[in-house]
Structure 1
Amino acid sequence: MAVYVYAIVARTHPQRLNGLAGVGDPPTTLRTVHGAELSAVVSDAPEGLRPKRRDLAAHQTVQEHLMAEGTVLPLQFGFTTTDDDAVREVLEQRAEQLFERLRALEGCVEYNLKAAQDEDALLRRILQESEEARRLNEEIRSGRGGPQLPLALGELVAKEVQARQSRTAEAIVEALGGFAREHHAAQPTGDDFLNVSFLVARDDEKSFLAAEQGLVEELGPDHELRLRGPLAAYSFV
């Protein structure tokens, strides 16, 4: 039967799994696969597993339980392989690389930050501050311009939006990056212009959170910053 892998830890990690259940319906039983210096927490892989709420919660609960007792390399939901021997082979062949990441994650958690900006407020600001945008807009409203003016205004505004949000994103990452060991940017979706994860040492959490709150106040109500964490460090495995 295929094997579902939750996380990798050092052999010295307590690996206490009593009271925990794995993914699947009925829930699968957790076990460990050992290499010489590393262990993987696994279970049998249920057939047709999908990211349902119960299974996502079970996966996350295992991660949080392991994190509470030591450093963890968390795997994303749904990671499977052929059997225990395949897991053991990875633990042996990639031991040096995996240990390097364990050392990098020691004493750290992940925080994910997504940022969005009120579109109407941004457009008003562009029209106030861009002389060319304001001129085009006034010509369109007066009816004097031709049919090409709305297209020209649209292109100008799109470039301004991208430039302004890129600068804001860079400023946010710079402001928070000093309180993190690493950061990893992902592609924003929807209305967001920033999606970035920070690897933060436990000793720096208070400073990081205070800096994030300072950004909220500095950027004002036109911006929405959504911070999630502390999380298992999925983005840094």
Structure 2
Amino acid sequence: MKRRDSETKHEYADAYFKENKIYDLQGLLRENETYTCGVESYVYPMGHSFDPTILNYEEESARYRFCLYLNIPYYIIAIEQGSEVFEIYLISENDNTICCNLNETLNKSAFVCWWKQHQSFTQKKEMTEAAPRIEGSIIDNILFANNLAWGVNIDGFTLDTNGKPLAIFEKRITNKSQVEQYDPRKYFFGTNKKSGDFPSWNILKTLADHLEITLYLLTFERSNRKIMGKTQIKEVHPSNGLTYTSPIKFIIP
């Protein structure tokens, strides 16, 4: 079973997230500035059924609890390989078990309507970097064909023992320089070939402020060298760009 995942695989970053129990959420949908649901999507093999028992309980529980704290439902969208039938499972938790309750089974046109009910705005930012990682994705192809945007991607979040969000993490991986020379502020306003970062940063900072938690920036380099930059985001401003609480600190394990 394959999970829809737009993130760059990075051995050290992935290990750091796992060790520190930092979880991700592929899609947080919103309509008129109000969050409507969290979503993940899985494609299961042709001729089989969706099997929730092989899901990672710890990760799915964290996603469910993150959405629960936002007072929104968490859905898993399951698709049989080669089909355009969408099984919408409403996720709950009971006795340390993730419960997948089949809510709806939708054809392509009905699924597009379902998505629009939860998030109707169009895709504006280019998916240049993520495009190779979602190439062939059934759900992305249908959304793009209908000019619909995927949800807000949460690179990382942590929870306390009661399931309350503690922090949000934005992960950036540079392939142009060593991480010590990399600063996302340089790219905030965009280039001739790439749009700026204000919308994506502003969404994350607004969410962190709503939850009254910290938004962290974590930076890595493509080489997989075991070094990480870390700082807190103080402000996101359309004219002034990103403001950090302190300079990026580089950490070597």
**TM-score normalised by the chain length of structure 1:** 0.30
Q: Bigger radius of gyration, 1 or 2?
A: 1
Higher relative contact order at CA 8 Å, sep ≥6: structure 1 or structure 2?
Answer: 1
Higher helix share goes to which structure? 1
